[in-house]
């Protein structure tokens, strides 16, 4: 088998992986939903929201929860793969609501300090403030991911 046909086979197998496709779909639905919600609040469409982190619902949580639930459905709730995917999902969601949320709060404070310093002709780069999620955003994303996995594979 030539190199090109091996790569084609890999991509074909990935396209036929229902667990991965479901997780990607959950991420995409969350990102589109987040973009629509932001557009309603801001009264304009910001296409950057399609790839940005932060906001409602958490696409990270939707992705990893969908991955875990889809693994449970396809490989069994007592499988090692489901246990690993669940542990991974819990770590990602804890990070999204904890560490990254704290980083966003720190960025807001630093941006205010920079604003004050700008009065003295100091112009550093502005930090991104929306990097984490509130617990509600994380839980909403997790719910979305679980529902999509059950809908597609359950």
14-60: pLDDT as tens digits: 899 999 999 999 999 999 999 999 899 889 888 888 887 778 899 99
Kindly state the average pLDDT of the residues 84-92.
Answer: 96
In degrees, rounded to 5, the angle at the alpha carbon of residue 22 between the alpha carbons of residues 20 and 28 is: 105
37/22 Cα distance (integer angstroms): 22
């Amino acid at each position: 088998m030539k190199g090109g046909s091996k790569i084609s086979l890999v991509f074909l197998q990935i396209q036929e992986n229902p667990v991965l496709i479901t997780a990607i779909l959950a991420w995409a639905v969350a990102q589109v939903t987040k973009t629509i919600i932001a557009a309603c609040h801001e009264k304009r469409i910001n296409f950057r929201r399609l790839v940005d982190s932060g906001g409602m619902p958490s696409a990270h949580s939707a992705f990893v929860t969908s991955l875990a639930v889809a693994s449970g459905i396809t490989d069994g709730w007592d499988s090692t793969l489901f246990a690993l995917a669940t542990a991974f999902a819990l770590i990602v969601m804890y990070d999204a609501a904890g560490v990254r949320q704290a980083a966003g709060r720190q960025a807001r404070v630093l941006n205010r300090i920079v604003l004050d310093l700008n009065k003295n002709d100091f112009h550093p780069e502005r930090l991104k403030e929306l990097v984490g999620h509130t617990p509600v955003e994380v839980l909403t994303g997790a719910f979305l991911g679980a529902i999509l996995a059950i809908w597609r594979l359950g």
